[in-house]
Structure 1
Amino acid sequence: MANDHSAAASEPKRRHRHEGPQKHVVAFVLSLVLTIIAFAAVSAGEINTTFTYIILVSMALLQVFVQLAFWMHLKDRGHLFATMGIIFGIIVVFTMVIMALYWVWW
């Protein structure tokens, strides 16, 4: 019994690692860059409209992932319930859109 207690006492204590502002600054700069790319694609009049839509949708999706991962901290452990809720919401929205399109085209 004494050996177990001394072995536990000799292990270094694990500290909660504090996330510094570096990751937040990187996420903020990345968000700004994605927003500037989207504005530049719309501002440039000589770009094909379809290509502009593709750029806008891709920048929006990247922006969503950056926001969820860095600002909402869904990349960290312990956010399974929130992640499951978001996935369920995405499934419901896609189902509703597909059903609405099917209903209109029928």
Structure 2
Amino acid sequence: MVNQHNNEGSMVKHRHRHEGPQKHVVAFIFSIVLTAIAFATVAAGGVNTAFTVILLIAMAILQVLVQLGYWMHLKDKGHMIPIIFMAGGFFVAGLCIIAALYWMWW
């Protein structure tokens, strides 16, 4: 980000650096690789069920982080409020899931 001041100092212009497509291409390839790993694990068929579930959850979490970071631009500066609200939403959703599981098995 570049700040430019005129002679009076009253006007400030903000310019954002253009990232270019390189980071988006890398994020897209990483997303494809994560999807391929998850698909191959399920398609193999002979893999332990517990391992498959854990691997799928891990791939899903990584996929969400890539999507939020690169496609939704949450890695950029100035996106703390959306991150806080999403973290709060994940916290509430986690509490609801824990409460539902507790309610079903108690």
With the length of structure 2 as denominator, give the TM-score of the two structures. 0.83
**Which residue is equivalent to 1:93?**
93
CA RMSD of aligned residues (A): 1.8
Give the whole-Å Cα distance in 2 for the aligned partners of 1:69 and 1:104. 35
Structure 2: which 5+ residue stretches go unaligned?
A: 1-5
Displacement of 1:18 in angstroms is: 0.7
Counterpart residue number, 2:102: 102
Distance apart, 1:58 and its partner CA: 0.6
SS for the counterpart of 2:99 is helix
> What is the CA distance between 1:16 and its match in structure 2?
2.9
3-state secondary structure, aligned to 1:74: coil
Higher Rg of the two aligned structures: 1
Higher relative contact order (CA 8 A, sep 6+): 1
Identity of paired residues, percent?
Answer: 58
The runs of at least 4 aligned residues of structure 1 exceeding 4 Å deviation read none
| Higher helix residue share | 1
Shift of 1:15: 5.1
Matched ranges for 1:27-46 at <5 A: 27-46=27-46
Q: Which residue of 2 aligns with 1:11?
A: none
Mapped to 1, the partners of 2:59 and 2:79 lie a distance apart of: 25
> Following TM superposition, by how much is the alpha carbon of 1:22 offset from its aligned partner in structure 2, in angstroms?
0.1
Distance (whole Å) between structure 1 residues aligned to residue 104 and residue 57 of structure 2:
23
Q: Which runs of 5+ in 1 are unaligned?
A: 9-13
For 1:81 and 1:15, how far apart are their aligned partners in 2?
21
- SS of the residue corresponding to residue 19 of structure 2 reads coil
